[in-house]
Chains A and B, each alone.
Chain A
Amino acid sequence: MSAEAAVKYVTETTEAEKERVAAWINTEEYKELNFKREALVIAPPHTCQPLGAELVAHAFEGSLPFVHGSQGCASYYRSTLNRHFRDPAPAVSDSMTEDGAVFGGQNNLHEGLENAIAIYKPKMVSIFTSCMPEIIGDDLVAFLKNARNKGIIPEGMPVPFANTPSFNGSHIHGYDAMLNSILHTLTEGKKVEGRCTGKVNLIPGFDANTGNFREYKRLFAEFGVPLTILGDISDVFDSPCDGSYHTYPGGTKLDDAADSINGKATLSLGPYSGAKTFAWLKDNYSGKHAAIPMPLGIAKTDELIKKISELSGKPVPESIKNERGRAVDAMTDSHQYMHGKKFALYGDPDQLIGYVSFLLEMGAIPYHILCSKGSKKVEKEIQALLDASMYGAGCKIYMGKDLWHMRSLVMTDRVDAMIGDTHGKFACRDAGIPLFRFGFPIFDRVNKHRYPIIGYQGVINMVTEICNKFIDIKDETCEERFFEMMR
C-alpha cells in the first residue's frame, strides 16, 4: 500500500456473494482445499507447554508458579485457569523485557525470586519458561545456583524448574516437564533403602477436572489403600468460599511428595501426558510401577480397579463391585439413546483414547476422531480400539489437524454430536449438533469441572449428560403429535 497507489473506494461484499461463500465453506470441495493446508493452523485445540506447567505447579502445597519470561505469558496462563475453574490462580513472572534479550534473564529471575518469596511466602517456587529465555538460551541451572549462593533462595527451599518451550509439544508436555522437575527436586536424597510408605502414588496426567481428583481419592479410600496424588489440584482449584482468601489452599503435601520415592507402588494414568515423568520415575522410585490408560468408560476403569487391587494386594471391595454394577445399570437403562449415534471428538491423547473406548461400549460411533497434537503411537492405539469393535468400522482418525478441519468434517459428513472443549462450540452451532464439554478448557458452562468423568461415577455422569441432551433435543424439535410424556 504505497502512497502513490491510486485511492480506491470502500467496497461492500454483496449478500449474494456472502451466501455463495457461506454455502461453499460447507462443501466437499472446500474440505479438500482446507485439508491441503500446510502452513496455516486455524483454531487448534491445544496450547503451549507453560500452561500445563502452571497447572501442575499449582498442585503442590505452598507452591508458587513462577514464569521466567515475559509477563504477558503469565497473565494468559492465569486467566485461562481462572476462566476454567472460576477460582484464583496466583502465579508470578519475572517480567523480562527487551534488555533481558540483550543481557539474559538472570537479573529478572533473581529480583523476581527475592520479591515473590518475600511477598507471597511460598514453601516452594516452581519455575518454568516461556519463549523468550528459551530462544536466548538462558541457563537456569547456573542462574539458580547463583541465586542460592547469593542467599536469594532461603536455605532448604525447593526450587524446581522446567524448560517448557512453547514451540515444541503442547500443554501436556509442559505438565510432564514441570511434574518431573518437581518430583526430581523433592525426592532428591530422600530414598531410604528398605523403607516403604505403604502408599500408592498416582500420576493423574494433565487433567483439569477437580471432580476426577476427588473421585480418585474416594476410590482408593474404598479400597483402604493409602494414596499420594502427585500433583493434586482438587483443593487448589475447588476451594471453599468462606470469607477468606488463601494463596495456597491445597495441593500435595511436600513431605508426601518427597516420600513418594519410597512408595509401595506408582501408577500413572496419563501414559501420554506423564510419559517423561513415568520413565524417570521407573528408574528411581521404589516399589512397583504401572502406566495404564486414563479410566474413562467401564473397561478402562476396570483396568484401574484391577491394578489398584494388584498393586496393593487387596481384593476389590464389595462397594466398588456394586458401583460398577450401578454404572452398567445406567448404561443398559439408557443405551437406546446413544446406540448408533455418531460422534466427532477431539482432545489430548489420554482423554481421546478414553472417549473412544467409552463410546464403543455404549454402541455409539466415534466417527471423526481428531487430535491436533498426537503421534503415530496414539493413532495406533485408537485404531486398535476401533478395530476391536463393530461400532468402530468406518471411523477415521485425523492426526495433526485442527478445529477448522473438524468443521469441514462435520459439515460434509454429518454426526449427531461432538465431544471436546469449549472451542468446539462454533463448529457445533454451524452443524446444529450438541457439544459435550468433557475436555479443557470449559469457559462457557458452570461447575463442569466439579463433575468427575473418570471411574464408574464418571461413566454415569457422561451417560446422563449425553442421553438427556439427546432427549431434550427430541422434546424441543419433534412435531407436536410426537411430543409425549415418556421417553
Chain B
Amino acid sequence: MSHPIKKIEGITKESTEELIAKTLEVYPEKAKKKRAPHLGANDQASGCAAVKSNKKTVPGVMSARGCAYAGAKGVVWGPIRDMVHVSHGPVGCGWYSWGTRRNLMTGKLGVDQFAMQFTSDFQEKDIVYGGDKKLKQLLIEAKELFPLAKGISVLSECPVGLIGDDINQTSRQAAKDLDLPIIPCNCEGFRGVSQSLGHHISNDTIRDYIIGTREFSEPETPYDISLIGDYNIGGDVWSAKALLEEIGLNVKSVWTGDGELEKIAATHTVKLNLIHCYRSMNYMCKVMEEKFGIPWLEFNFFGPTKIRESLRAIGERFDQNIQDKVEQAIAKYDPIMQAIVDEYRPRLEGKKVMLLVGGLRPRHTIGAYEDLGMECVGSGYEFAHNDDYERTSPEMPDATVVYDDPSEYEFEKFAHALKPDLIGSGIKEKYVFQKMGIPFRQMHSWDYSGPYHGYQGFSVFARDIDMAVNSPTWKLVESPF
C-alpha cells in the first residue's frame, strides 16, 4: 500500500476487539449477533471495510440514524434555494427539518429563496380520503404566492406511501397545468434503512425529472465543472467555490447547497463533476458519466494537506494553465495555513479525537485533525455503505475501532475506554459527552459555525477545535467539594 501505516500507542487489534466484545456483553444474544459485524478494528494496510454496513438498525438500541425523508428533504432537495419544497403529509417531518441543517442560501426568503417549511399538514380526513386533491390545490397556491420559484419538490412522508396516494400522477398533471417543474419524490421515511436511501431516491428523481432539461446560454469552455455533494453548511460552498474559481475553473452548478434548479438541470454539459460527499451523490455522478460521458473525481477540501492533494489531482484533469494556477494557489495559501498550524498545533498536539458522523466526514476530516497534530482513535458512520468503509480504512490509524450505526451505549462505552480529548458527532450525542466532561463539536452542523471547507474553512475549523478542546470551562467540571 502506498499510504503510511499509522499506529496509536496502546491500541492493538486485540485491545480493540476486546473492547468491542466487552461492550456487547450487555446485549441480548440476538442483538449481539446482529451488532457484532458492525464493529471492528481497522486494518489500515488492507484498504478493506472493517465492518458490515447499510443494514437495518437493530430495534431499541438507540441509533442516531434518520430516515429516507430526512435524506431527501434535509440533504438533497432541501438545499436547492429557488424551489418550494413541500413536505407532503403530517406537519411534523417538515417542522423538524425546518432550518435545522444549516444549508445556507443567498437571496430573499419568500422572494427568490424558500427556506420556510411548506407542508400539506395532513389531517385524519386526508388519511381517509387521500391527499391528492389537497396536493393539487397547494401546488396552485404555491405558484401563486411564490412566482419566482423555479420549481416545486413534493417530498412524501410515511402516510403518503401507506395510503396509496399517487403523487407522481398529481405532480405530472400539475407540472403541465402550471408550466412549472414539479418533482414528486417517494421518500417515505419507512423506506430503506437510513437517510441513505433518501439520497438515492432523490438522485433518481433528479435523473428522471431534471437533468438535461436546461442548457447554459453562455458558450461552453474546457473549464466548466460542477461542484457536487456540497450542501453549504455554514457557507462551505462559498469557500469551496471561490477556491475552485481561483484555480481557473468555472463552477457552473452546485449540487445542492445554495443550488439553483435550472443550473443543476444543465449540468450535463460540464466537463468534470467534482464530488465532495460521495455517499449522497455518487449516483448522479455515475448517471452523468454513463449518459453524458462526464468524468467525476472525488476530492477532499478539509485541511491543507488534503486540499493540496485534491487541488493537484483536480489540476491533472486539466491543462497547464489550470495546473499553474493550482501551484500558484498552493504557494499562496501554504504559508497562511502554516501560520494557522503554528498557532494551534502546539495546543492540540497528540490530542485524540473520536468521530461519528453521516456518510463522509468520518473519513474526510481525519486529515484536517492530523494537520493540527491530533490523532483519530475511532470513527464511524450513521449511514455509510461498504465503499465508504473501504475508503475509510487507509485514512484511519491501524487497529482503531470502526463502528457502523453504533448505539448510544456503544459509543459511550468506546469513549469511556478510549478517553478522547474531543468527540465530533451530532446534536443527540453532544450533551451526553459534555456532561461527561469531554469536549465536543457537532460535525454535521459545524456547531453553528463554519465554513469548514477550503482554505478559508480551515482557519475556522482550527479555531473551533482549539476552542473546544482547550476551553477553560472544562477545568471547572470537577467540583472541589
Which residues of chain A have a CB within 8 Å of any CB of chain B? 1, 3, 5, 7-11, 13, 17-18, 21-22, 25, 30, 33-34, 37-44, 46-48, 50-51, 66, 69-73, 75-80, 82-83, 86-98, 100-101, 108-109, 111-116, 118-120, 130-132, 135-136, 165-168, 170, 239-246, 403-404, 407, 423, 426, 430, 443
Let me know if B346 is at the binding interface, CB within 8 A. Answer: no
1/0 contact trace for B56-89 toward A, CB 8 Å? Answer: 1111111111111110000000000000001001
For residue A70, which residue of chain B has the nearest CB? B189
For residue A111, which residue of chain B has the nearest CB? B59
Verify B162–A76 contact, CB threshold 8 A.
Answer: no
B316 CB, nearest partner CB in chain A, Å: 29
Let me know if B166 is at the binding interface, CB within 8 A. Answer: no
CA distance A407 to B119 in the complex (A): 17
CA distance A130 to B189 in the complex (A): 11
Verify B92–A10 contact, CB threshold 8 A.
Answer: no
For residue B115, which residue of chain A has the nearest CB? A426
1/0 contact trace for B403-438 toward A, CB 8 Å? Answer: 000011100100000000000001110111111110
Let me know if B271 is at the binding interface, CB within 8 A. Answer: no
Note all chain A residues with C-beta closer than 8 A to B108.
18, 22
A-B pairs with beta carbons under 8 Å apart, 24 shown: A1-B210, A9-B215, A21-B147, A38-B137, A40-B86, A40-B141, A40-B145, A43-B116, A44-B91, A72-B93, A77-B96, A90-B62, A92-B59, A93-B60, A94-B59, A94-B60, A95-B59, A97-B193, A98-B190, A114-B60, A136-B162, A241-B435, A243-B435, A245-B435
User: Pick the contact of B117 from A43, A79, A93, A242 — CB < 8 Å?
Assistant: A43
For residue A404, which residue of chain B has the nearest CB? B116
Verify A82–B428 contact, CB threshold 8 A.
Answer: yes
Verify A76–B96 contact, CB threshold 8 A.
Answer: yes
CA distance A326 to B478 in the complex (A): 37
A143 CB, nearest partner CB in chain B, Å: 13
Let me know if B158 is at the binding interface, CB within 8 A. Answer: yes
Let me know if B299 is at the binding interface, CB within 8 A. Answer: no
CA distance A163 to B339 in the complex (A): 58
User: Pick the contact of A243 from B109, B147, B407, B478 — CB < 8 Å?
Assistant: B478
Which residues of chain B have a CB within 8 Å of any CB of chain A? 26-28, 30-31, 56-70, 86, 89-93, 95-100, 107-112, 116-124, 126-127, 134-135, 137-138, 141-142, 144-145, 147-148, 150, 157-159, 162-163, 175, 181, 189-193, 195, 209-210, 212-217, 260, 262-263, 265-266, 407-409, 412, 426-428, 430-437, 477-479
> Ordered nearest first, which 8 A-B pairs have the shortest CB separation?
A72-B67, A48-B92, A112-B60, A112-B59, A115-B60, A76-B96, A39-B138, A116-B60
Verify A167–B65 contact, CB threshold 8 A.
Answer: no
Note all chain A residues with C-beta closer than 8 A to B191.
97-98
For residue A152, which residue of chain B has the nearest CB? B28
B232 CB, nearest partner CB in chain A, Å: 18
CA distance A46 to B163 in the complex (A): 24
Verify A114–B141 contact, CB threshold 8 A.
Answer: no
Note all chain A residues with C-beta closer than 8 A to B119.
41-42, 44
Q: In the complex where A83-B427, A119-B407, A135-B158 touch, is A114 in contact with B95 (Cβ < 8 A)? A: no
Note all chain B residues with C-beta closer than 8 A to A37.
141, 145
Verify B90–A71 contact, CB threshold 8 A.
Answer: no
CA distance A98 to B262 in the complex (A): 34
User: Pick the contact of A95 from B30, B57, B216, B412 — CB < 8 Å?
Assistant: B57
Verify B67–A70 contact, CB threshold 8 A.
Answer: yes
User: Pick the contact of B120 from A1, A41, A114 — CB < 8 Å?
Assistant: A41
Verify B90–A241 contact, CB threshold 8 A.
Answer: no
For residue B137, which residue of chain A has the nearest CB? A39
CA distance A25 to B149 in the complex (A): 14
Note all chain A residues with C-beta closer than 8 A to B122.
166-167
Verify A76–B66 contact, CB threshold 8 A.
Answer: yes
Verify A7–B92 contact, CB threshold 8 A.
Answer: no
Note all chain A residues with C-beta closer than 8 A to B97.
76
User: Pick the contact of A101 from B145, B147, B190, B214 — CB < 8 Å?
Assistant: B190
A67 CB, nearest partner CB in chain B, Å: 10
CA distance A44 to B96 in the complex (A): 11
